[in-house]
Structure 1
Amino acid sequence: MLFPSQTALMASGVLAHHGALPLPAAVAMAVLGALTGHVIGHLVGCRWGPRLVANLPDRVTGSPGYRAALHTVGAYSARAVLLGRFNAVLRTLVPVMCGAVGVPWARFVGLSLLGSLLWAPSCVAVGMAAGGSWQKWGGSGVLAAGGAVLLLTRSLPMLLSYLSSRKAQANAPLTSAGRGPRRPLLQ
């Protein structure tokens, strides 16, 4: 999450532009990495999806948005896998959800390969374009500042969520009346 895949692929495009990395290798590794990430997500969903769902709070699993997301992934797996590849949050969640709702393996891998073949080279290409223009805009200072902004904007939501959960824990009553003991996430 602190060093997202899209940022890494763009950085590989910058390196390829400057000759530090062969372009075919950058694209091949990008596609392979994207496909591998999706396959692992699907396997996690197949193996632990029901347990993960069982440990989610009722406010999440009972929400209309959660039910709609499961229905959408189950009914429109092709669109979910292909379009989800281009969204940072969905890129992580859709493969797990596909595994949890039982999207067939061969169908999932085929769709994920197609999505990876579309997404990964486009990210490397954006990096190639940026690699050709970053020196015009101020050289390494601008590159460092851009990297810091990317890191901050990618990690800020995670930090805010962590701080919010810490505050909620601090304000929570010491006893949980009417509730049984919390189950561990993975049993």
Structure 2
Amino acid sequence: MDWLQAQLSTVPVWLTLVIVFLLPTVEPVLPVLGMLLPSQTALVVSGVLTHQGSLPLAGALLAAVLGAVAGNLLGHAVGRVWGGRLAAGLPARVTESRKYRAALSAVSTYSGRAVLLGRFNVALRTMVPVMCGTVRVPWGPYLGWSVLGSLLWAPSCVALGLLAGSSWQQWGGSGVLVAASVLLLATTSLPPLLSLRRGAPAVAPQA
């Protein structure tokens, strides 16, 4: 995170906001990028920069929320068009992995709500939108859950950055950030992980 903060602090404000928007937008369709540089990290860093006065708070929040919604919609669209072929082309080590099965179980059990439950988990966040599109989760409910999840997730990440920035000297921002992130991950990942233990039902694309 320190490296990303150092890089973003040297670029213009408008470009930083574009990056904060783009990372959650492309994360669902470029899962490798999401694993290497989770969008949550960029949002937290934007909160730190906001605390330092380098970014406007309203701009950081708007870019984060819009990027999260756009990423969900883009992932859903990709899943509807290419989801079946993408799934068929995945190697067995991916489809048999715990993360893949957790995402499949979340979509199977919760349908459009999975995009809300998975928003706080990096593995589910990168897989669930495409899976929802693949099984043809209706656009209306999916959009509603996407907006709700984005409105909860994006400000939370920015707020973590603000908290870390304000407590950096007194408490150690990294420690605060890690503790809060673990809490968010545990509370929001519990339902899909519990459903995984019951076994993932088969999912077939709807006509």
TM-score class normalised by the smaller sequence = 0.5 to 0.7
SS of equivalent residue, structure 1 residue 37: helix
CA distance, structure 2, for counterparts of residue 89 and residue 137 of structure 1:
29
Match of 1:114 in 2: 148
User: Which amino acid is the alignment partner of residue 101 of structure 1?
Assistant: V
SS of equivalent residue, structure 1 residue 102: coil
| 2:123 equivalent to 1:89 | yes
When the two chains are superposed, the root-mean-square deviation of aligned CA atoms in Å is 2.8
Deviations 1:80-108 (A, max 9, x none): 11110010000010001000001011211
CA distance, structure 2, for counterparts of residue 102 and residue 18 of structure 1:
43
Contact 1:74 1:103 in 2 (8 A): no
Contact 2:75 2:133 in 1 (8 A): yes
Tell which has more relative contact order, 1 or 2 (C-alpha 8 A, sep 6+): 1
Larger radius of gyration: 1
**Per the alignment, do residues 133 and 5 of structure 1 end up closer, same or farther by CA in structure 2, a change over 3 Å counting?**
same
CA distance, structure 1, for counterparts of residue 163 and residue 98 of structure 2:
42
Unaligned runs of 5+ in 1: 147-187
| 2:78 equivalent to 1:44 | yes
Shift of 1:46: 0.7
User: Which amino acid is the alignment partner of residue 139 of structure 2?
Assistant: W
Structure 2 residue corresponding to 1:135, chosen from 161, 169, 172: 169
Match of 1:80 in 2: 114
Match of 1:6 in 2: 40
TM-score (norm. length: structure 1):
0.65
1:164-179 alignment, distance < 5 Å: none
Match of 1:98 in 2: 132
The count of residues paired between Structure 1 and Structure 2 equals 141
SS of equivalent residue, structure 1 residue 47: helix
**Per the alignment, do residues 12 and 64 of structure 1 end up closer, same or farther by CA in structure 2, a change over 3 Å counting?**
closer
SS of equivalent residue, structure 2 residue 50: helix
| 2:68 equivalent to 1:31 | no
Match of 2:12 in 1: none
Match of 1:125 in 2: 159
**Per the alignment, do residues 52 and 8 of structure 1 end up closer, same or farther by CA in structure 2, a change over 3 Å counting?**
same
**Per the alignment, do residues 73 and 133 of structure 1 end up closer, same or farther by CA in structure 2, a change over 3 Å counting?**
same
Shift of 1:75: 4.2
TM-score (norm. length: structure 2):
0.60
CA distance, structure 2, for counterparts of residue 84 and residue 47 of structure 1:
22
